[in-house]
């Protein structure tokens, strides 16, 4: 699937190639992409970015494409990772009321769409790493593919058709496409859960094998 094939599919499935409909196809796709990012949780949406603390500044900028921060940590001079604990901004202000007093950050809070709040206020420009759910590169005539067109064509198609039906006021078709969309969401989320269980299975098996070996020796 590509941007051009998806826009053509929308016209074909909706049996509408009018100018007014065609002018809205980018909106159908964009709204569907926003909905999908909220509804599914594949590991492919998670990435990492590096920056550093600003000395005497308790605020840290988020990556520009970040939707949800999963983990926040800093690295010491030996590149050892130390995870900060997530708290509310009220906790941060209560725990570290004087921003001018510095130390090594221990806690972080989701302060705004663009910034995180840390405490203590950083005393050194330590390297930081954020693991986060990133915003998709929206499909367009210049960005013709993304993760969805490669891995979740059905989900993207029915999500876009839902928006097209809302525009066309086609209630019967909207119900059908909504059911197909929800089934695709469930399928992808189930696949993601299976992959995460697989990730955790190996250490458990290794531990079990170790215990068996110990018991037999």
Sheet holding 66-75, edge to edge: 46-52, 127-134, 66-75, 81-83
pLDDT in tens, 4-38: 999 999 999 999 999 999 999 999 999 999 999 88
pLDDT in tens, 63-95: 999 999 999 999 998 999 999 999 999 999 999
3-class SS letters over 82-93: EECEECCHHHHH
Q: Are 5 and 160 in contact (CB under 8 A)?
A: no
pLDDT in tens, 39-65: 998 777 889 999 999 999 999 999 999
Tokens of 156: 């993207």
The pTM of this model reads: 0.74
Residue carrying the six token digits 């039906």: 165
Buried/exposed code over 44-74 (b: 16+ C-beta within 10 A; e: otherwise): ebeeeeeeebeeeebbbebbeebeebeebbb
């Amino acid at each position: 699937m590509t941007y051009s094939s998806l826009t053509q599919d929308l016209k074909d499935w909706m049996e509408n190639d009018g100018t007014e409909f065609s002018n809205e196809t980018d909106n159908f796709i964009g709204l569907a992409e926003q909905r999908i990012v909220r509804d599914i949780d594949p590991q492919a949406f998670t990435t990492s970015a590096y920056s550093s603390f600003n000395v005497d500044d308790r605020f840290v900028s988020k990556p520009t494409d970040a939707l949800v921060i999963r983990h926040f940590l800093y690295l010491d001079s030996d590149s050892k990772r130390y995870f900060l604990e997530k708290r509310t901004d009220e906790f941060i202000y209560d725990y570290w009321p004087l921003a001018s007093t510095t130390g090594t950050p221990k806690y972080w809070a989701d302060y705004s769409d663009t910034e995180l709040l840390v405490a203590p206020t950083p005393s050194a420009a330590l390297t930081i790493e954020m693991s986060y759910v990133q915003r998709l590169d929206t499909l367009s005539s210049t960005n013709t593919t993304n993760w969805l067109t490669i891995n979740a064509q059905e989900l993207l198609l029915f999500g876009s058709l839902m928006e097209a039906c809302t525009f066309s006021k086609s209630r019967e078709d909207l119900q059908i496409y909504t059911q197909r969309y929800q089934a695709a969401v469930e399928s992808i989320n189930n696949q993601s859960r299976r992959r995460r269980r697989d990730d955790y299975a190996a250490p458990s098996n290794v531990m079990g094998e170790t215990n068996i070996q110990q018991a037999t020796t």
